Structure 1
């Protein structure tokens, strides 16, 4: 079995061998240049899918594994790369992204490779990381209007509203062993008062959690992003790219890979991997795939070659709609990366249990909307200006994150990032992204479930909650709407147990690693860019047995300063026992640790 000795299982403020990790202000882990296998130039690597995990794995293979780019082939079922990191459109139909990702400083694996990729617009030698850092240092993020209610009225979001019982439940969750949360839901642990609190409204809408979803994953989020709690109510803890994430990250990454000779093969949907399985060994020797026209094919794989496969997909079977069209909600058996995972799971229990995650699309679906507002004097742009105090077309931070209509039946949120969001976007257009967490519920104005509405009806519901219903006719004439219904968008949040998700390199696998959001990475959490990046780094370093450590998750959960600041935030700005702690620490080395 391929060694994974450098892929550590817990987070530490220093590495297990005693060497400190060095971080800059974006959480970069700095270490050695690894020594690749002597025969790496004779090997080939096949990556299934071209989502962010697979693209980053290809980059790690080139940079750290020293594998020639021409030896790496990426197999993608769509005609474009990027997977869920999409972004497209024009002035005829409007612009669309299915989703957006909140970026943080401490994405160790992601920023580690993005410091190598040439910037989208800045000249050489600047990189994607340089561009991202410069944008965010010159234009810090803040959300001046996190919550609205009563048809467009701002509401204070700074008080968390968590009672003593709820605070104790949070502490118990942080202290609990992870195995004690397996199979449980959020509502199994927290009572109705907590679920009605301001904190939970902020939490569920920021991360897209339903209360019937995984307590295990909520626990991981609480640990992983503990340091974010003081900036929770205004999202000052977050960072965003200059343009949509497809153009800001995928375009420069793909250009770099192509420049290294990496081959991207589109219209290739991998269904299964042929494997030879004996006692203690699992070797891939063939990749089975089909094309859009139904034609089937096979790629031979030698034992010394590698296959890195993305399993599962949160955007598989997306149904698209527009101003006049209701997006279809596809509830039949999912294909693509789900078919591959199911076929792997039939071969061995080490490949996990995909049906835990994809068998109930009615629970894992939500719908997103992309609004293209045409004209600088558009009423919706004016409303956003009133709510945030920011000029939407200034090129700087606009909403700084989502604005949630807390009394919306659909639990609507909307965000407008720096404009233009697309480089081909007209200068006087504003593009916003929005989603409904409860797509099966009735709307307050449009008395239908979101999932049954056209783009015009979705726009009308948003106008109602933003206090613009009286101007709806004018807004409709100057807005383009594109919808995306995603049946499996929160499938990774379904309650799970040990073994439901496979390891990055499942037990006994000699030349196979798994990538993406449905793979087990100790201490890290799903629905993040970093989660996919971590699987990519673990896969490459493990298969090649590289002598470079995979950096641990940033250890905020062990930092007394982060713990104290989080406690103060949850208790509405008052640190429990603050007077006693102040007296105890006054005049000592540690008196400045209190928030």
Structure 2
């Protein structure tokens, strides 16, 4: 039924030609919403306007720079086969290079030709490979994970990871891999961890090697944002940059909620747009990358703790009705939501020899190099790094390598550079990384002198993981809303997990289909948690893939999952 629904072209909604659509923010959620409005909602693109306060589009899906100034990527995206809404979207977006092929065609082709597998997942002692082939769990850890899998979200409430698990779980390989792969912290929501477990249980057997993870040909801006923006503009969509939305006028009569006006600042001048029930207003509420700041080789990035305009807009809207959520739950604990990344541009550098030694792979081969992140187990900054498939930028010369790294503990002192990560210049960050790679002396100096390092401090980068309860995040379409929808990482979508492109795209599809009342269903979230094959394979992985007699294994599985009544 799912594929049938995806191929079905919804009927044209009555009165669609009289509607206008206003979208706030140009992240992947609003770009996707504009696409679904045109393809599935039969809306004329000329009636769609996207307001973006910056002069660049794409939100958190970024990537920019050049050889002279250095490249910058604040973060990357690990994707997988069952991003049903995302692949439905990009199955209709042509690539920039070849209009006869779609972005989905390109994704499949590049990942079939060059499937991802980690070449060296964890190192310590200055470049020494760590055996992370098993999750390193004991029986009581497995029982805790099983208990989490079976628990109801409402019973877990706002519990954190460290409140749910015993302290020794945080010393396991599983937590090291989990933390570095998803940027989870002990003080983050255990409900969100539960959602990740259930959503991606089919990927657990490949977790130690990052198998079945998909990466785009280039960075996410070049591979996803630019082709999508081009398609939208060709269909008449107007993206109005340097435009800040500060508030919405919302008329609330009983349970009915109608946006009646939009307050904007365009090039410093206050403007106002009057809207009606027939118009639609979609807002990205909250932002992971809000207030991000950049540094340089000789300058550390500043930590911006002001309440940014994206959060301020959500706060203004939320004050009008409880159904619009509680943004302060997510933006008020910067010390628990920040971390720092840095991008390094190397030209004809000996860093290639270091990477070959760590991975046994050639960085100039055009194939995946590190196969995802390499985590430095004994880094006081909690540092990981990756050299993705090169070139990582469409305009990147053949002899240039671009590396990305991040640290989860920006306030800790380094092991080599005796300063807090947050206080370090780009050059100092690179020296710390090279130290952990086993590089020193003249070779370190040569590599550092060749590199351009751009650090990025992100105060809210894991704010979506903060402990929450029902009502903290608004529904995509709040109860009684006639023409308002929320999009992005801070909305409530049952069964799906944040910090993914899929979550944003799914929110867009839900908003369009629901407010236009389309006779088409949003594709279901891949139900791997209900597939006994995935559950059995995941359980075997938890037990370290030890050979167990069939009858004993089944009984142990049923007992540990509280299903022993079936015996």
Is the TM value for this pair above 0.5? yes
- Indicate whether 1:526 and 2:498 are aligned: yes
Structure-2 residue corresponding to 1:21: 2
Report the CA distance between 1:468 and its aligned residue. Answer: 1.0
Matched-pair contact (CA < 8 Å) for 2:288–2:463: yes
Secondary structure of 1:232 counterpart: helix
1:47 pairs with 2:19: no
| Contact 1:215–1:495 (CA under 8 A) maintained in structure 2 | yes
Instruction: Give matches, 1:159-198, under 5 Å.
Output: 159-198=134-173
Deviations, residues 306-357 of structure 1 (Å, cap 9, x unaligned): 001100000000111010111000112x222211110111000000100000
Question: 1:285, CA displacement in angstroms?
Answer: 1.1
From 252, 269, 281, give the equivalent of 1:307.
281
User: Is residue 77–residue 268 contact of structure 1 (8 Å, CA) maintained in 2?
Assistant: yes
Distance 1:380 1:466 in 2: 10
Other structure's SS at 2:209 match: coil
Q: Return 5+ residue gaps in structure 2 as ranges.
A: 557-567
C-alpha distance in 2 between matches for 1:341 and 1:246: 25
2:114 — aligned with what?
139
- Contact persistence 1:31–1:548 (CA under 8 A): no
CA contact (8 A) 2:474 2:491 kept: yes
1:404 corresponds to 2:375 = yes
Counterpart in the other structure of 1:112: 88
| C-alpha distance in structure 2 between counterparts of 1:493 and 1:176, whole Å | 18
Contact 1:373 1:381 in 2 (8 A): no
Residue 501 in structure 1 maps to residue 491 in structure 2 = no
Question: Greater shift after overlay, 318-327 or 470-479?
Answer: 470-479
Q: Which of 277, 280, 285 is the aligned partner of 2:260?
A: 285
Displacement of 1:125 in angstroms is 2.4
Deviates more, 1:202-211 or 1:282-291: 282-291
Where does residue 433 of structure 1 map in the other structure? 404
Q: Report the equivalent of 1:452.
A: 423
Deviations 1:251-273 (A, max 9, x none): 00000000000000000111110
| C-alpha distance in structure 2 between counterparts of 1:65 and 1:532, whole Å | 18
Matching residue within 503, 527, 538 for 1:566: 538
Q: Is the contact between residue 285 and residue 486 of structure 2 (CA under 8 Å) also seen in structure 1?
A: yes
- Give 1:589's aligned residue: none
- Name the CA distance, whole Å, in 2 between partners of 1:578 and 1:156: 28
> So what's the TM-score if we normalise by structure 1?
0.91
| Alpha-carbon separation, structure 2, partners of 1:31 and 1:199 | 39
**What SS class does the counterpart of residue 34 from structure 1 fall into?**
coil
Aligned twin of 2:563: none
Q: Residue in 1 aligned with 2:302?
A: 328
Alignment CA distance shift 1:185-1:583 (3 Å) = closer
Runs of 5+ unmatched residues, structure 1: 1-19, 24-28, 585-595
Matched, 1:393 2:344: no
CA distance in 1, matches of 2:549, 2:529: 20
- The 1-side partners of 2:96 and 2:88 are apart by 17
Q: How does 1:243-322 map to 2 (within 5 A)?
A: 243-292=218-267, 294-322=268-296
- Partner secondary structure for residue 307 of structure 1: strand
Cα gap change, 1:291 to 1:328, in 2 (>3 Å): farther
The whole-number CA distance in structure 1 between the counterparts of 2:547 and 2:156 is: 27
SS in 1 for 2:2: coil
Distance 2:480 2:551 in 1: 56
Does the Cα contact within 8 Å between 1:564 and 1:575 map onto a contact in 2? no
CA shift, 1:64, in A, is: 0.3
Superposition CA RMSD, Å: 1.4
- 1: distance between equivalents of 2:147 and 2:396? 48
Q: How many residues align?
A: 555
Contact 1:366 1:438 in 2 (8 A): yes
Deviations 1:442-462 (A, max 9, x none): 110011111111001100100
Deviation at 1:231, TM superposition (A): 0.7
Question: In structure 2, the residue corresponding to 1:216 is in which secondary structure?
Answer: helix
Runs of 4+ aligned structure 1 residues displaced above 3 Å come to 575-584
Q: CA deviation at 1:469?
A: 2.4
| Residue pair 1:290, 1:296 contacting (<8 A) in 2 also | yes
- Following TM superposition, by how much is the alpha carbon of 1:568 offset from its aligned partner in structure 2, in angstroms? 0.8
Instruction: Tell me the equivalent position of 1:593.
Output: none
Q: 1:583 to 1:482 in 2, by over 3 A?
A: closer
2:458 equivalent to 1:486: yes
Aligned equivalent of 1:71, options 47, 52, 58: 47
The corresponding residue for 1:231 is 206
Tell me the SS of whatever aligns to 1:551. Answer: coil
Q: Structure 1, residues 50-80: CA drift from partner, whole Å, max 9, x if none?
A: 0000000000001000100000000001001
Structure 2 match to 1:370: 343
**Deviation readout 1:551-584 (Å, 9 max, x if unpaired):** 1110010011111111111111126663545899
Task: Classify the secondary structure of the residue corresponding to 2:246.
Answer: strand
